């Protein structure tokens, strides 16, 4: 069985005080077992949040990283720097980065390989736009992004990777994919992973849903056989709603 995951993507939000308060509240109330809770603060807040989370079951993610280990890359962050602060996960290819910061499928793949080489777990985001959904191109789009992100990975590396299906039209809009729409895409993604690797590998890879996840809709999304958790933006910014999501995941 795949352990359910609740991953909070804090995006470019919160002050230093706000981030450490939120982390403390989550650390205090998070279930010890049965759910993997992850938070992704802005890079600047990672050291302080790492300290708050040190003795808790809550794990840390970065919202991005560069594929190089060091070098002339102004404004970027390298994997070894993140590892120094106990960062175990890295969100890659979020649609906001693809849309506004020129992130490409090839770049996502290079970053995933670099993260794996650092012993980190990439959380690879993919999903279709509203236009693509309406043009019936959802399957082609997500399959293409998935295959590109996993290019060159071994089955063992693939099993240390997480996928997050985030339909772009559902992010921050209050519109969620229906549980059936989400499950259909998740099942497709798992079948592509099985085709690319093997059944056991495909079954081991967690596939999260993201896009306006909140306590009111999480249980029905998690009921989907191939939906293993959520990558959550807005609803991860309040202690109570994040903790509620972890409790729902625990009961799923």
**Which residues are at the interface with ligand PGA (CB under 6 A)?**
9, 166, 171-172, 210-213, 231-235
**Per the structure block, which two tokens stand in for 150?**
């996993």
User: CA–CA separation, 147 vs 155, rounded Å?
Assistant: 13
Q: Minimum distance between the CB of residue 35 and ligand PGA, rounded to whole angstroms?
A: 18
CB of 16 or CB of 175, closer to ligand PGA: 175
**Contacts (Cβ under 8 Å, ≥6 apart) of 160:** 116, 121
Residue 166 designated active-site: yes
CB of 176 or CB of 201, closer to ligand PGA: 176
Q: Minimum distance between the CB of residue 164 and ligand PGA, rounded to whole angstroms?
A: 7
- Cβ 232 vs Cβ 38: under 8 Å: no
Say which of 45, 94, 121, 186 is annotated catalytic.
Answer: 94
The burial of 72, by beta-carbon neighbours within 10 Å (0-12 exposed, 13-18 middle, 19 or more buried), is given as exposed
Say which of 103, 143, 157, 166 is annotated catalytic.
Answer: 166
Residue 94 designated active-site: yes
CB of 150 or CB of 165, closer to ligand PGA: 165
Which residue matches tokens 């109570």?
240
Widest Cα–Cα separation across the chain: 48
Shortest Cβ contact with ligand PGA: which residue? 233
Q: Minimum distance between the CB of residue 64 and ligand PGA, rounded to whole angstroms?
A: 13
Note the Cα 33 to chain centre separation in Å. Answer: 19
Q: Minimum distance between the CB of residue 213 and ligand PGA, rounded to whole angstroms?
A: 5
Output phi, psi for 91, to 5 deg.
-75, 130
CB of 119 or CB of 172, closer to ligand PGA: 172
Q: Minimum distance between the CB of residue 8 and ligand PGA, rounded to whole angstroms?
A: 9
**Per the structure block, which two tokens stand in for 90?**
């890295």
**Contacts (Cβ under 8 Å, ≥6 apart) of 173:** 211, 212
CB of 102 or CB of 152, closer to ligand PGA: 102
Catalytic positions are 94, 166
């Amino acid at each position: 069985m795949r352990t359910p995951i609740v991953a909070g993507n804090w995006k470019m939000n919160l002050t230093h005080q706000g981030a450490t308060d939120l982390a403390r509240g989550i650390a205090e109330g998070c279930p010890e077992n049965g759910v993997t809770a992850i938070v992704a603060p802005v890079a600047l807040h990672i050291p302080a949040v790492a300290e708050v989370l040190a003795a808790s079951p809550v794990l840390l993610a970065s919202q991005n990283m560069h594929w190089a280990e060091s070098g002339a890359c102004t404004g970027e962050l390298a994997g070894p720097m993140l590892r120094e602060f106990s960062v175990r996960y890295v969100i890659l290819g979020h649609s906001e980065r693809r849309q506004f910061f020129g992130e490409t499928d090839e770049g996502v793949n290079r970053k995933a390989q670099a993260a794996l080489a650092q012993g980190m777990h990439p959380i690879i985001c993919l999903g279709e736009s509203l236009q693509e959904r309406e043009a019936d191109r959802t399957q082609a789009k997500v399959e293409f992004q998935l295959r590109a992100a996993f290019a060159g990975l071994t089955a063992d590396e693939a099993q240390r990777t997480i996928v997050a299906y985030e339909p772009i039209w559902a992010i921050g809009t209050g519109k969620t994919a229906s549980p059936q729409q989400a499950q259909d895409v998740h099942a497709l993604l798992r079948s592509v992973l099985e085709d690319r690797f093997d059944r056991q590998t495909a079954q081991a890879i967690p596939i999260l849903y993201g896009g306006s996840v909140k306590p009111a809709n999480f249980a029905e999304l998690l009921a989907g056989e191939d939906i293993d958790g959520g990558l959550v933006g807005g609803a991860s910014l309040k202690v109570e709603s994040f903790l509620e999501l972890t409790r729902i995941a625990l009961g799923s």
